[in-house]
Structure 1
Amino acid sequence: MSRPSFVAAWFSPWSERARFALDHHRIDYREEAYVPMLGEPLLRLRTRVFRGPLSVPVLFHDGRVLRDSVEIARYADELGTGAPLFPASEGAEIARYVELATGLMEAARALSVSRMAQDETLQFENLPPSVPAPLRPVFARLGTAFMTRKYRLDTRDPERDRATIRRNLERLRTELRGRDTLLSGFTFADIAVAVSLTMVRPVEHPLIPLGPGMRAAFTEPGLAEEFGDLLAWRDKLYAERRSVKGAASAAAA
């Protein structure tokens, strides 16, 4: 079997939840770092998507092109070893939690990019090491503007986004009720929700090597304090379930 190629942005929660699933199943893949704006023309060529929205993660394997984190995670269930993340009996509930987590991430992304747009230091930290030093100031500004345009973040209402995050966190707290997993066992629902909480306050883990500026950009202080129980659940899940294979795989690419 050929080695899958995984194109991902280093701190995209959408990339991280697909990466988490691949590592859960111990799949040997090669990770390619995606740089917004710079990497899009080549990615469009490789995916044959020449119009419309295009984002990462993308998985290339044996002629297949998978362009969605959930689709990649489902493929990992087919390809790898380990307990399935999408048991058929809980498919509807998993889909519901994925939708909830995605809504939380979209709201939090608007708030974090807005913070980065106002702080050049944060823009620098957000760039991958592969961007040459002389080009970093230019691409820091252009990258933030690109993200704002691509996701129409300037049209969003910050207070409405915070209300969305709070509403979703309250629902999660009610439904988790002190359990280790959201459903009867560990599933992709847990991965999706745990990763989404990184947008409330980033997890401390070798795979999420954030500087202090980026950590602050992705933290909602009031919500992080109020929902510390959910963040503690997320931290425990990462400590027990999150392999560091992804870091090694990316470094070897």
Structure 2
Amino acid sequence: MSRPLFVAAWFSPWSERARFALDHHRIDYREEAYVPMLGEPLLRLRTRVFRGPVTVPVLLHDGHVFRDSVEIARYTDRLGKGTPLFPASAEAEVTRYVELATGIMEASRALSVSRMARDERLQFENLPPSVPAPLRPVFARMGTRFMTRKYRLDARDLEQDRATIRRGLERLRTDLRGRDTLLPDFTFADIAVAVSLTMLRPVEHPVLPLGPGMRAAFTEPGLAEEFGDLLTWRDKLYAERRSMQGAAGPAAA
């Protein structure tokens, strides 16, 4: 069996939740860093997606292409050694929490990219070390504009996005009620929700070595303070469940 190739953006929550699943199942994979805009031509060639949006994470393995974090996580259940992340008895519940977490992440992405667009320091930190110093200002601005266009973020209502996040967090607070996991057993629901909370305030864990600029971009101060109990739950889950196998970073390869 060949070694899977995981193409991911190191700072992306979508990539992190797939990486979390790969590491949960102790899968031996190689990670290749994806740089928005610059890496798109090769990604299209690899995935055979020549029109429309193309995104990471992507997992390439034995002639198969998995183009979505949930699809990748489902595949890890078939490939790996850990306890199932999508148990048949809890399929509907896991799906419901994944959808809730995805909604939080999509709304949070609009807020974080908006912050990056206003702060060149944040844009620079988003670039890999391989970009030459004279070109970094140009690529930083181009990258932010690229993300804004790709996800149509300039058309979003940021206050409505904050309201969407708050509703999701209130639902999670009600459902957790002091529990360690959302369902009786640890599942991908916990991974999806814990990762979504990294966009409220980034987790402090070696697998996500964000610098101060990226931490600022992914922090929503008011909501982080209001829902500090959820962040405490997230931090505990990362401390207990997050393997050190897949340490991300701008130079991951």
Q: Tell me the TM-score normalised to structure 1 length.
A: 0.98
In structure 2, the partner of 1:20 is 20
**CA 1:250–1:114 in structure 2 vs 1: closer, same or farther (change >3 Å)?**
closer
Can you list the C-alpha shifts for 1:100-153, whole angstroms capped at 9, x where unaligned?
000000000000000100110010011122222222111100000000000000
The question of whether the paired residues in 2 share the 8 Å contact of 1:194 and 1:234 is answered with yes
Task: Look up the equivalent residue of 1:218 and give its one-letter code.
Answer: F
Partner of 1:7, secondary structure, is strand
In structure 2, the partner of 1:100 is 100
User: What are the within-5 Å matches in structure 2 for residues 80-229 of structure 1?
Assistant: 80-229=80-229
Partner of 2:82, secondary structure, is coil
In structure 2, the partner of 1:79 is 79
CA apart distance, 1:249: 11
In structure 2, the partner of 1:55 is 55
The question of whether the paired residues in 1 share the 8 Å contact of 2:11 and 2:249 is answered with no
Percent identity over paired residues: 86
Can you list the C-alpha shifts for 1:2-60, whole angstroms capped at 9, x where unaligned?
10000000110000000000000000000000000000011101111000111000000
The question of whether the paired residues in 1 share the 8 Å contact of 2:129 and 2:251 is answered with no
Partner of 1:86, secondary structure, is coil
Partner of 1:245, secondary structure, is coil
* Structure 1 segments of 4+ aligned residues over 6 angstroms from their partners: 248-252
Could you tell me how far apart the structure 2 residues matched to 1:77 and 1:221 are? 36
Partner of 1:60, secondary structure, is strand
Q: Greater shift after overlay, 211-220 or 129-138?
A: 129-138
The question of whether the paired residues in 2 share the 8 Å contact of 1:201 and 1:215 is answered with yes
Could you tell me how far apart the structure 1 residues matched to 2:251 and 2:12 are? 17
The question of whether the paired residues in 2 share the 8 Å contact of 1:9 and 1:56 is answered with yes
Task: Look up the equivalent residue of 1:92 and give its one-letter code.
Answer: A
Could you tell me how far apart the structure 2 residues matched to 1:12 and 1:249 are? 11
The question of whether the paired residues in 1 share the 8 Å contact of 2:10 and 2:252 is answered with no
Partner of 1:247, secondary structure, is coil
**Structure 2 residues not aligned, in runs of 5+:** none
**CA 1:248–1:62 in structure 2 vs 1: closer, same or farther (change >3 Å)?**
same
In structure 1, the partner of 2:43 is 43
CA apart distance, 1:250: 9.4
Partner of 2:247, secondary structure, is helix
RMSD over aligned Cα atoms: 1.4
CA apart distance, 1:207: 1.1
Could you tell me how far apart the structure 1 residues matched to 2:209 and 2:252 are? 17
Could you tell me how far apart the structure 2 residues matched to 1:119 and 1:232 are? 29
Task: Look up the equivalent residue of 1:200 and give its one-letter code.
Answer: L
Can you list the C-alpha shifts for 1:203-243, whole angstroms capped at 9, x where unaligned?
00001111112111111111000100000000000000001
Could you tell me how far apart the structure 1 residues matched to 2:213 and 2:137 are? 16
The question of whether the paired residues in 2 share the 8 Å contact of 1:104 and 1:196 is answered with yes
**CA 1:170–1:155 in structure 2 vs 1: closer, same or farther (change >3 Å)?**
same
The question of whether the paired residues in 1 share the 8 Å contact of 2:44 and 2:50 is answered with yes
Partner of 1:246, secondary structure, is coil
CA apart distance, 1:251: 7.1
**CA 1:112–1:251 in structure 2 vs 1: closer, same or farther (change >3 Å)?**
closer
Task: Look up the equivalent residue of 1:201 and give its one-letter code.
Answer: R
The question of whether the paired residues in 2 share the 8 Å contact of 1:30 and 1:250 is answered with no
